[in-house]
Amino acid sequence: MSTRREELTERATDWVLGHGLVGLSLRPLAAAIGTSDRMLIYHFGSKEQLIVDIIRCSAMRSAQELRLLPASASPHEAVLDQWRLRTTERQAQCERLYVEASTLGLFGQQPYADEVAAMNQTWLDAVRQHLVGSGVAEERSHEIAELVEAAFMGFELDLPLSTSEPAGLPALARAVALLARAD
């Protein structure tokens, strides 16, 4: 990827994180990031490729923040720490983009379907790495990371309906601690 393309991807990602992916139009995006729609097509080849690069950039940013999260004192604390990170404004923006891309991908729209699958793997690997660093055995880390991720997705569906911590979060943290100790 060229330096100019990387720069445009970063700026386009910033804009999309604030404005959303659904109904994305190149002209307003281009104007907002200081270029033209023609230059976006020149650098990316198509609107679809620009969207792919935006989705990838958002996923990489999100996973990188989790990878930079210091190891937690225990698997129990790792769940709580990951939830706190996940609910920051920056992560919430990436999550909204993920949900938009996932929704479009559910209907088989490309490039969303393939990119969402790749995003899932990138994020799940970061979840798993943090859990391992926080005391979860490597051989249990995949299944526990999948449990944590599935629960977090459910909790996020309830976020607009509540201003408090998800009721199931303490139970999830206890369950992860128990699973991490199980043979």
Convert the pLDDT of each residue in 86-140 to its tens digit.
989 999 898 888 888 888 777 777 777 778 888 889 999 999 999 999 999 999 9
What angle is formed at CA 118 by the lines to CA 116 and CA 121, rounded to 5 degrees?
Answer: 110
**Boundaries of every domain in the chain:** 52-181
Cis amide bond preceding 160, omega within 30: no
Whole-number Å distance between alpha carbons of 45 and 176: 45
Q: Read off the tokens for 143.
A: 């299944």
> pLDDT tens digits, residue range 150-169?
999 888 877 766 667 888 99
Q: Could you tell me what percentage of the chain is helix, strand and coil, using 3-state DSSP and rounding each to the nearest 5?
A: 80, 0, 20
Q: How confident is the model at residue 172 (pLDDT cuts 50, 70, 90)?
A: very high
* Rounded Cα–Cα distance for residues 150 and 127 (Å): 12
Q: In b/e form, how buried is each residue of 63-90, taking b as 16+ CB within 10 angstroms?
A: bebbeebeebebbbbbbbbbbebbbeee
Residue 20 has pLDDT above 90, yes or no: no
What tens digit of pLDDT does each residue of 42-93 get?
999 999 899 889 989 999 999 999 999 999 999 999 999 999 999 899 998 9
pTM for the predicted model, two decimal places: 0.85
Measured at the CA of 133, the angle between CA 129 and CA 134, to 5 degrees, comes to 115
